[in-house]
Amino acid sequence: MQLFIEQLLNGVAMGSIYALITLGLALVYGILRILHIAHAAIYTVGAYVGLFLFKLSGSLIIGVAGSMVFCALLGVGIERFVYYPLLKYPPYVPLIGSIAVMLAIEELCRLVAGPQILTFQAVLPFPQFQIGGITVSSTLTAVYCITALVLLLLWYITSKTELGLAMRAVSQDIPIADAMGINSHLIVSLTFAIGSAIAAVAGSLVGIYYNQVYPTMGTVPAYKTLALIVVGGLGSVPGAVVASLLLGVAETLLIGYANIPLPRDALAFIAMIAVLMWRSEGLLGSR
């Protein structure tokens, strides 16, 4: 029982991290209907910049905040240079562009920082809990708290502010939003900035959680998060969060208990295909 609860706690942490990465992808898909695979490269950059600034300044807050700003700018840059001009083409055109951006950024990380795994030794200023023989480590607490904070902030922005209202208008129909006096390109850019800043948080957090930062750390999340936004219902942010948490728990439990021959990274896609056959609008999506 104790092992089960520990596994569950780890699973939720894993799911929280997936959620942080998937959020940006779901936001971007919701507003532009683009599969932003390069989002995972932004996450990698987020980890590197966070680590670099942390080493330079010695402050984790400066590291993460700096990384958020850097990634927000990078995300907006990709949107302005690659996606926006390609919007009028069929969806596979920006998709290929996105994959090229992702592989180029990964390669750039390798060239600048080297192919080796860097360590990210930082102590997260969060308490450790001890409940009935079960220890919740400070990193786990950190993952939970940060994810909850990000989700809360995002919920506030999207449902309580004018920016959120404008985002919803733009995601419905760009020409109509423009006609209503919304500067939709600015809203799209802001969406990318928000999603990318969250990816920076996720990158830094994962770097600390596993104490590893390396050029290809975004490869597996890049494709897994695609499956997650499908399972959640393309473009649905709450759906993406639910799907991420479920996958995190399912993966951890399956590795812990069932000895399945397929690697756990294929699980997301198997779940996705099952969902598509059974309920193609996703768990929380609407047609």
Partner 1 sequence: MNAYLITIATLICINAIVACGLNVIVGFAGQISLGHAAFFGIGAYSAALLATKAGLSFWAALPLVVVITALIGLLLGLPSLRVKEDFLAITTIGINFIVEAIFLYIPFFGGALGIGGIPRIMLFGVRLKGLTFFLLCLFFLLLVLAFCWWFSRSWGGLACFALREEESAAASMGISPVRFKLLAFVIGTAMAGLGGALYAHYIRFISATDFSFPVSVLLLSIVVLGGMGTLWGPVVGAVILGALPEVFRPLVDYRFLFYMLLLLLMIRYQPAGLLGEGSMVHRVFSLLLPEGKK
Residues 6+ apart with CB under 8 A from 68: 46, 197, 200, 201
Shortest Å, Cβ 113 to partner 1: 13
Please select the residue that binds partner 1; options are 230, 242, 247, 249, rule is CB under 8 A.
230
Q: Rounded to an integer, what distance in angstroms lies between the CA atom of residue 220 and that of residue 203?
A: 13
User: For partner 1, how many residues bind (rule: CB under 8 A)?
Assistant: 39
Shortest Å, Cβ 234 to partner 1: 6
Per-residue CA distances from 223 to 40, 58, 70, 194 (Å): 9, 33, 23, 21
Burial of 2 (0-12, 13-18, 19+ CB in 10 A): exposed
User: Does residue 149 interact with partner 1 by CB under 8 A?
Assistant: no
Phi/psi at 137 (5° precision):
-70, 165
**Shorter beta-carbon distance to partner 1: residue 112 or 186:** 112
User: Does residue 284 interact with partner 1 by CB under 8 A?
Assistant: no
Site string for partner 1, 84-123 (x = CB under 8 A): -xx--x-xxx-xxx-xxx-xx--xx--x------------
**Shorter beta-carbon distance to partner 1: residue 112 or 152:** 112
Which uninterrupted H or E stretch holds 158? helix 138-160
Residue 270: left if φ>0, alpha if ψ -120 to 50, beta else—which one? alpha
Tokens of 137: 């480590």
**Shorter beta-carbon distance to partner 1: residue 6 or 281:** 281
User: Does residue 35 interact with partner 1 by CB under 8 A?
Assistant: yes
Residues present in the chain in total: 287
Q: Rounded to an integer, what distance in angstroms lies between the CA atom of residue 260 and that of residue 207?
A: 28
Are the C-beta atoms of 15 and 228 separated by less than 8 Å?
no
Please select the residue that binds partner 1; options are 25, 177, 206, 227, rule is CB under 8 A.
227
**Shorter beta-carbon distance to partner 1: residue 58 or 91:** 91
**Shorter beta-carbon distance to partner 1: residue 62 or 95:** 95
Under rule CB under 8 A, which residues in 170-199 are in contact with partner 1? none
- Of 56-64, 182-190, 244-252, 257-265, which part binds partner 1 (CB under 8 A)? 257-265
| Angle at CA of residue 140, ends 134 and 144, nearest 5° | 115
Please select the residue that binds partner 1; options are 1, 132, 263, 286, rule is CB under 8 A.
263
- Residues making contact with partner 1 (CB under 8 A): 29, 33, 35, 81-82, 85-86, 89, 91-93, 95-97, 99-101, 103-104, 107-108, 111, 223, 226-227, 230, 234, 261-263, 265-266, 269-270, 272-273, 276-277, 280
